[in-house]
Structure 1
Amino acid sequence: MKDESIFIRRADHGAKVLVVDDDPLARRGLRAMLERGYYEVETAEGGEQALEKLSSFQPDLVLLDIHMDGMDGLETCRRIRDIPNGELLPIIFLTGDERPEIHAQALRVKGDDFLRKPVLSAELIVRVRSLMRLKRLQAEVLAERDNLLDLQKQREQLFEFIVHDLKNPLSTIQVGLEVLDGRDDNNPASRVQLRRLLDTAHSMGRMIQNILDIGRAEQIGLELRKVMIPLGTWIPHLLKEVESLVQSRGQELVWECPPDLEVEADQEFLRRLLLNLLDNALKYSPTGSHTRLEARSTRTGVRLEVYDQGKGIPEPMRDRIFGKFVRLEKEGANTLSGSGLGLAFCQLVAEAHGGRIWVEDNPTGGSVFLVEIPGAGEI
């Protein structure tokens, strides 16, 4: 029975190679070697002509002589790397110059490989095939990366759409609860339950807005509308928003602020930052505990401090807790966990103001979250 050989086509079969050399004999020889290796070949007699042929021929690899009249190979390579997608084009330098400084210059302009003249056919094909394989793998990795980024973007957009659509029904619930809470015929037990539901609805509203603002900030940053805020009169109005939560948890909330202290900040973002910190402080502190908000002047601006009497933040977690969706792991019944969004939002707001946020131990037990906002002349 007659044997039949099976021809398996290589992945780089028919790939395009641009040969750039000012020696006509060298160009012809390289073309012949490459065409025997089943490559499609185009030649250029110098750097200027090579750059002209890049867009029309669109090579998969360039063989580039270093020493040429006019624009040499080093300058040609440098210009190729500067064009769109030129960084990804494999370039093999051809040279008979063995001086180390020439090789160093070739590396500096981001050449990928060297071939010594006169070029041997077998070595040429092996080097070209190796770089083609690397280029193919690189293209596959980049395609997979782009696909993952596209999927991630779609997931985030879908998430934002869902969260955004939750705002309207939640607003309706809040309005209904406020109407019911305002009725005169509510008995004390009903009034307490309504206040708890309202607090929960407001907390959900802040969570939804945090998600939307974090997504927006990652795309275009937070847009601040700064005004001068008189903290001595502003803080009492802020604390009224958590008054019922304090009462329902049987806790005490106190504050301290110099009467003339002001800060230049976005009022709405600062309000939500402090409400997030106060919510956490009240949520993670036991019944009968004391939560404290302090505002003080510093050498460079204003510092806001929120003290709780919870279980505290473990040292290894103190930087991580400001990341998105990072939560404390539960240790039995001792450590609570949150959504992982509030503190990420707080960090965005602090940094948007040119400031910072961090956490320390509360000397009386628990944690203290500190926010520094620089003065107008300090940013």
Structure 2
Amino acid sequence: MDATILIVDDSPFIVDGLAALLTRKGYTPVSANGGDECLSILKTVTPDLILLDIMMEPMDGWETLEKIRENPATKDIPVLMFSAKKITPAEAREHSVNIDDFVSKPVSPAQLLDSIQRIFSRRSELSVKRLAAQDKGLDTAVIDEYTALHKNTEVDRNLLAVLRASSGMDIAGKEIPREDYDAIRDLEVKIYREERRLREIETQLEKMPGHNREN
């Protein structure tokens, strides 16, 4: 595998356990005991993935994520968020575009490894899709939108499942706060629009003749 994964958590016990797991699976872990140390490490190390906890002090995971995305040198590194705290609908709505997946603690080793592999596989597949779209002569801006939509829809579907489960929306007779209900419905609408736009671009691609990239 030979991929470098930066683990960011303010619990040394969790960091050490995750580092041991990733090492056994052929990854190269790098440890950071908090957001500040994460940002410092990123000045000299460019990992293939960042595993970022939400509940940290003094800088929490969302603030750390924001700083990662603000930096041109780190903005494209995939970030897998994880936390013992349930992600709220408001957090999902605000941050979904900037993350590559989310898992809840306690997370089983199999679940975590599946999520990591899913992120790497998706990035590889999107590279192929980008090249195919370039071969077709699709506009660069549309290609960027196309690849972003593929990532966003997968992340949003996962977040939707997490939110529905944590809110109890699928339990008959259970009442949930109106704010949470509206946020979940907004996410469903967002997914619908993303999937519709994806179909539009894919239809456009199907109608375009291929180009020889060497010409």
Q: How does 1:21-32 map to 2 (within 5 A)?
A: 21-32=9-20
Does the CA contact (< 8 Å) of 1:96 and 1:117 recur in 2?
Answer: yes
Instruction: Name the counterpart of 1:83.
Output: 71
Q: Alpha carbons of 1:49 and 1:99: their partners in 2 closer, same or farther (altered >3 Å)?
A: closer
1:133 aligns to 2:121 (yes or no): yes
- Deviation at residue 118 of structure 1 after TM alignment: 1.8
- Indicate the SS of the match to 1:57: coil
- Deviation at residue 57 of structure 1 after TM alignment: 2.0
Deviations 1:53-106 (A, max 9, x none): 124221111100001112110011111111225443211111111252464266
Instruction: Name the counterpart of 2:205.
Output: none
1:63 aligns to 2:63 (yes or no): no
Taking only the aligned residue pairs, the percentage that are identical comes to 32
- Deviation at residue 144 of structure 1 after TM alignment: 6.5
Residue of 2, 5, 8 corresponding to 1:20? 8
Q: In 1, Cα distance between the equivalents of 2:82 and 2:123?
A: 19
Q: Alpha carbons of 1:104 and 1:87: their partners in 2 closer, same or farther (altered >3 Å)?
A: same
Q: Alpha carbons of 1:106 and 1:37: their partners in 2 closer, same or farther (altered >3 Å)?
A: farther
Does the CA contact (< 8 Å) of 1:74 and 1:105 recur in 2?
Answer: no
Q: How does 1:204-283 map to 2 (within 5 A)?
A: none
Q: Give the counterpart letter for 2:19 in structure 1.
A: R
- Deviation at residue 138 of structure 1 after TM alignment: 2.9
Q: Alpha carbons of 1:71 and 1:137: their partners in 2 closer, same or farther (altered >3 Å)?
A: same
Q: Alpha carbons of 1:84 and 1:139: their partners in 2 closer, same or farther (altered >3 Å)?
A: farther
Instruction: Name the counterpart of 2:100.
Output: 112
Q: In 2, Cα distance between the equivalents of 1:85 and 1:145?
A: 25
- Deviation at residue 119 of structure 1 after TM alignment: 2.2
Q: How does 1:159-238 map to 2 (within 5 A)?
A: none
Q: In 1, Cα distance between the equivalents of 2:115 and 2:97?
A: 19
Q: In 2, Cα distance between the equivalents of 1:99 and 1:147?
A: 40
Q: Give the counterpart letter for 2:80 in structure 1.
A: I
Q: Alpha carbons of 1:93 and 1:102: their partners in 2 closer, same or farther (altered >3 Å)?
A: farther
Q: Give the counterpart letter for 1:111 in structure 2.
A: I
Aligned-pair Cα RMSD in Å: 2.6
Task: Figure out how many residues of one structure are paired with residues of the other and give that number.
Answer: 138
Q: Alpha carbons of 1:17 and 1:131: their partners in 2 closer, same or farther (altered >3 Å)?
A: same
- Deviation at residue 147 of structure 1 after TM alignment: 8.3
Q: In 1, Cα distance between the equivalents of 2:96 and 2:118?
A: 21
Instruction: Name the counterpart of 2:40.
Output: 52
TM-score, with structure 1 as normaliser? 0.33
- Indicate the SS of the match to 2:124: helix
1:95 aligns to 2:83 (yes or no): yes
Q: Which runs of 5+ in 1 are unaligned?
A: 1-12, 150-379
- Indicate the SS of the match to 2:98: coil
Q: Alpha carbons of 1:49 and 1:68: their partners in 2 closer, same or farther (altered >3 Å)?
A: same
Deviations 1:113-166 (A, max 9, x none): 1111122111111100010111223344456667888xxxxxxxxxxxxxxxxx
Q: Alpha carbons of 1:102 and 1:49: their partners in 2 closer, same or farther (altered >3 Å)?
A: farther
Structure 1 or 2: more helix by fraction: 2
Larger radius of gyration: 1
Q: How does 1:301-312 map to 2 (within 5 A)?
A: none
Q: Give the counterpart letter for 1:27 in structure 2.
A: V
- Indicate the SS of the match to 2:16: helix
Q: In 2, Cα distance between the equivalents of 1:142 and 1:31?
A: 33
Q: How does 1:307-318 map to 2 (within 5 A)?
A: none
The higher relative CO (CA closer than 8 Å, separation ≥ 6) is in: 2
Q: In 2, Cα distance between the equivalents of 1:21 and 1:114?
A: 15
- Indicate the SS of the match to 2:107: coil
Q: Which runs of 5+ in 2 are unaligned?
A: 138-215
Structure 1 or 2: more strand by fraction: 1
